[in-house]
């Protein structure tokens, strides 16, 4: 079989990515790092070794405290002007298109090593909407992702909405309609589908720009940022009275993709000025340490770990911020988790109902709800969906690999002559 006969299915995710092909009628996941079937969508630019680390190695370098720049959630930058702004990283000036291209090139190289032949065609997943409220930016985001695939060496690039790929992987429901609820790191996507000739037929797809990184941002902003100065009072530089510390900095520090842009002399000067004017300087001293030592992603990982723990059996977790100040812990209890995430869960429920309305379907028509995406594991998401669709069967698919598997199946079907 020549290289042109293989189309690789790639699920390029906000937090994790995966790749697959269909061989001998079965989905074959590509081992992408140390035998793992998923690769964290992350980079670490090591200042000492001058290496660019990708995936688990990037996270390990951050945890080890190595000197460098960590980046994650770059999928959320697609379609913004930041994608094409060159920036100095180690010995090169690179755009985010080129950076993402290197990540996709790693997936391509892993596939070629596994399959023993060149791979130059890809069927990529994409959210239903990268930017739901801006059609022009949505188109720009797909164009950016296409350019990144081309930078990775792919000559033919096609796209399929991620929940439609997950529906293909899950197969048709035995009766009625099926609904895919795909809650990833950056978006929430829905596909309503039914049994079709030889597989599934998508009736309608819908999407929201809400995902796990938004959950983490809200938890960090509400629970962690007060320990770094959010809500703190500052003396006026001129005159009497107090002002509350501006919130924009804390919102950006709580946002995965914006963290790397805060490590600037201007931001550090602003924080030091706030510390000098603060009624309570200690939280701002912690914030200063975060910027000086570039600990923003350490906070984000700690919040993510606390969220997962609070969603588990113990129903409680904490964000361990000992890297900022010895012994600093921020509790994340189940009740606080539920309260902070309730607006997101309600928006996801409403998005699912909007999907049904777009198809002229009612909740009673849905026989099966299939969840994919790591953030679908949150109890608040499933609880909201069960309340909205109480008569349906609620099942979890292979939440981290279902999209890649469906892309592989669809690429093979297209290769046999079934068009998109």
Average pLDDT over residues 296-309: 95
Ordered by where they begin, the domains of the chain are 3-171+400-415 (3.30.420.40), 212-337 (no CATH)
Summarize pLDDT for 76-133 with one digit per residue, the tens. Answer: 999 999 999 998 888 888 899 999 999 999 999 999 999 999 999 999 999 999 998 8
Q: What is the pLDDT of residue 317?
A: 93
Query: What does pLDDT average to over the chain?
Result: 93
Q: What is the pLDDT of residue 416?
A: 62
For residue 237, pLDDT over 90 is answered with no
For residue 25, pLDDT over 90 is answered with no
Q: What is the pLDDT of residue 34?
A: 83
How many other C-beta atoms lie within 10 A of the C-beta of residue 343? 11
Secondary structure element (H or E) that encloses residue 68, with its range: strand 68-72
pLDDT more than 70, % of the chain: 98
Q: What is the pLDDT of residue 393?
A: 94
Nearest of 308, 149, 321 to residue 223 by alpha carbon: 321
pTM of the model: 0.90
Q: What is the pLDDT of residue 173?
A: 85
For residue 282, pLDDT over 70 is answered with yes
Nearest of 141, 62, 129, 137 to residue 96 by alpha carbon: 141
Secondary structure element (H or E) that encloses residue 11, with its range: strand 7-11
For residue 1, pLDDT over 80 is answered with no
Looking from the CA of 313 toward its CB, the CA atoms found within 13 Å total 0
pLDDT band at 289; cut points 50, 70, 90? very high
10 contacts: CB under 8 Å, gap ≥ 6? 17, 18, 19, 104, 107, 122, 123, 124, 125, 404, 407
Average pLDDT over residues 34-46: 92
For residue 417, pLDDT over 60 is answered with no
**DSSP state string for 236-283:** -SSSSSEEEPPSHHHHHHTSGGGGGGG-SHHHHHHHHHHHHHBSSHHH
**DSSP state string for 341-381:** HHHHHHHHHHHHHHHHHHHT--GGGEEEEEEESGGGGSHHH
For residue 418, pLDDT over 80 is answered with no
**Residues linked to residue 94 through DSSP beta bridges, in sequence order:** 87
Q: What is the pLDDT of residue 89?
A: 83
Average pLDDT over residues 178-199: 92
For 369, the token pair is 């709800």
Summarize pLDDT for 321-353 with one digit per residue, the tens. Answer: 999 999 999 999 989 999 999 999 999 999 999
Q: How far is CA 297 from CA 34, 39, 400, in A?
A: 24, 18, 22
For residue 2, pLDDT over 50 is answered with no
For residue 420, pLDDT over 70 is answered with no
Q: What is the pLDDT of residue 158?
A: 97
């Amino acid at each position: 079989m020549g290289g042109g006969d293989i189309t690789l299915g790639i699920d390029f995710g906000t937090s994790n990515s995966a790749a697959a092909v269909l061989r001998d009628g079965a989905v074959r996941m590509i081992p992408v790092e140390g035998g793992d079937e998923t690769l964290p969508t992350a980079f670490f630019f090591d200042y000492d070794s001058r290496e660019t680390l990708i995936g688990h190695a990037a996270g390990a370098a951050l945890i080890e405290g190595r000197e460098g720049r960590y980046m994650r959630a770059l999928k959320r930058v697609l379609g913004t002007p930041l994608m094409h702004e060159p920036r100095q990283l180690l010995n090169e000036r690179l755009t985010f298109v080129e950076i993402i291209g290197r990540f996709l090139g790693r997936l391509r190289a892993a596939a070629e090593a596994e399959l023993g032949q060149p791979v130059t065609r890809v069927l990529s997943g994409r959210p239903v909407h990268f930017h739901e409220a801006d059609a022009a930016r949505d188109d720009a985001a797909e164009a950016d992702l296409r350019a990144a695939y081309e930078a990775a060496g792919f000559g033919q690039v096609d796209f399929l909405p991620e929940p439609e790929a997950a529906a293909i992987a899950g197969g048709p429901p035995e009766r009625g309609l099926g609904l895919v609820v795909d809650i990833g790191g950056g978006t929430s996507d829905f596909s309503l589908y039914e049994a079709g000739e030889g597989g599934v037929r998508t009736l309608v797809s819908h999407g929201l720009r809400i995902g796990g990184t938004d959950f983490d941002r809200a938890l960090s902003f509400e629970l962690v940022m007060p320990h770094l100065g959010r809500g703190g009072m500052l003396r006026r530089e001129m005159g009497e009275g107090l002002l509350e510390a501006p919130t924009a900095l804390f919102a950006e520090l709580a946002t995965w993709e914006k963290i790397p842009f805060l490590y600037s002399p201007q931001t550090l000067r602003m924080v030091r000025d706030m510390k000098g004017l603060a009624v309570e300087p200690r939280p701002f001293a912690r914030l200063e340490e975060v910027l000086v030592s570039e600990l923003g992603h350490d906070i984000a990982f700690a919040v993510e770990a606390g969220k997962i723990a609070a969603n588990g059996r113990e129903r409680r977790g904490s964000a361990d911020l000992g890297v900022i100040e010895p012994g600093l812990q921020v509790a994340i209890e189940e009740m606080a988790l539920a309260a902070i995430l309730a607006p997101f869960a309600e928006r996801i429920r409403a998005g699912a109902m909007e999907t049904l309305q777009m198809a002229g379907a009612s909740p009673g028509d849905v026989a099966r709800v299939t969840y994919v995406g790591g953030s679908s594991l949150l109890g608040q998401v499933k609880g909201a969906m069960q309340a909205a669709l109480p008569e349906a069967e609620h099942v979890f698919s292979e939440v981290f690999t279902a999209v890649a598997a469906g892309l592989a199946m669809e690429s093979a079907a297209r290769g046999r002559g079934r068009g998109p």
